[in-house]
Amino acid sequence: EDKVVQSPLSLVVHEGDTVTLNCSYEVTNFRSLLWYKQEKKAPTFLFMLTSSGIEKKSGRLSSILDKKELSSILNITATQTGDSAIYLCAVPNTGNQFYFGTGTSLTVIP
């Protein structure tokens, strides 16, 4: 059965800390892995990863895929209160069903 697992489930840090969120997957015929940020309502797209070992970066956020370990990490450096959100990982299967993990709830304390 295809599945996506995220860890930790929740995290509380202080402003300025660096955090690492994990996503592991077991999906048949893997093609891509996506990260989303969900603050209140609609998840917003962060990254799509298709190739192992190539880091994608946007400001203080970065992500990398390890196809050997069937996993990805999302790093956030110098965290700010605006980074408080649920971070979701998703992997599509060959039928274009997107499997989501349970998400990591990040709280950044001033």
Q: Which residue stretch of 19-27, 37-45, 57-65, 67-75 sits at the interface with other proteins (rule: CB under 8 A)?
A: 37-45
Q: Are 16 and 79 in contact (CB under 8 A)?
A: yes
Q: Can you tell me which of 65, 74, 88, 108 binds other proteins, judged by CB under 8 A?
A: 88
- 82 lines the binding site for other proteins (CB under 8 A): no
Q: How many residues does the chain have?
A: 110
Q: Can you tell me which of 12, 45, 81, 109 binds other proteins, judged by CB under 8 A?
A: 45
- 41 lines the binding site for other proteins (CB under 8 A): yes
Q: Can you tell me which of 28, 42, 68, 82 binds other proteins, judged by CB under 8 A?
A: 42
Sign of the C-alpha dihedral, residues 4, 74, 49, 88?
positive
Q: Are 31 and 14 in contact (CB under 8 A)?
A: no
Binding mask 3-22 for other proteins (x = CB under 8 A): ---x--x-------------
Q: What are phi and psi of 63, to 5 degrees?
A: -150, 150
Sign of the C-alpha dihedral, residues 62, 91, 72, 31?
negative
Q: Which amino acid is at 105?
A: S
Positions in the binding site for other proteins (CB under 8 A): 6, 9, 31-32, 34, 41-45, 48, 50, 88, 90, 92, 95-103
